[in-house]
Amino acid sequence: ETPIRSDHLYVAPYLFPDSYVLAAGTSTAGTITRWFVDFLGLQDSDSDEVFSHLASEANLSPPGARGLLALPHFSGERTPLDDPMASGALFGLNLTHGRSDVYRALLEGIAQGVRAVLELYERVGATPRTIRAVGGGTKNPVWVAAVSNIAQCEQHVVSGMGAAYGDAMLAALSHGMV
């Protein structure tokens, strides 16, 4: 039996006896950035180059995206809302905003989602001791800084293979190979 229960976190058995994972998930963190690239018609470009360029552009917009706010639920939301029908929105958009502001607002919206997840962990008594960031978003310094600043957490950015490497290590461990 798990010592912590929550209607908004996912509990699953873990690799070791009497251990479990208390997990959360957002629906659109990486997907929304890919959507934005496609929306701009940049999908035929090299992904690394496009995302690097957009990160540089987002850096031109100040924190707070000049008053533009994004609710990043463009494909429903899992934690903490558990609402597949939740929708996204841009608030405060006007003719003075450019794509740098929109992209920064999307990144900051995702960071707000991370903050909500971390606050949920804290409310149920499972405050994470370490935050490790993996994946494509870690190549974007604006995104990493937004998460750290908005969620008020220090992240340890994992270089290399990230989640796939961890999954492989756990699989090897479960088969006695490590």
pLDDT in tens, 144-167: 999 999 999 999 998 777 677 778
**Amino acid 13: pLDDT:** 83
Residue with tokens 């558990």: 82
**Amino acid 2: pLDDT:** 55
Range in 21-35, 64-78, 124-138, 161-175 the model is least confident about: 161-175
On average, the pLDDT of the chain sits at: 89
Whether the CA torsion 160, 154, 51, 40 is positive or negative: it is: positive
For the segment 128-143, the average pLDDT, to the nearest whole number, is 88
**Amino acid 46: pLDDT:** 64
Range in 5-9, 61-65, 70-74 the model is least confident about: 5-9
C-alpha distances in angstroms, 21 versus 6, 14, 73?
12, 6, 25
**Amino acid 12: pLDDT:** 83
How far is CA 3 from its chain centroid? 26
Q: For 83, list phi and psi in degrees, rounded to 5.
A: -135, 100
For the segment 41-53, the average pLDDT, to the nearest whole number, is 80
For the segment 50-63, the average pLDDT, to the nearest whole number, is 94
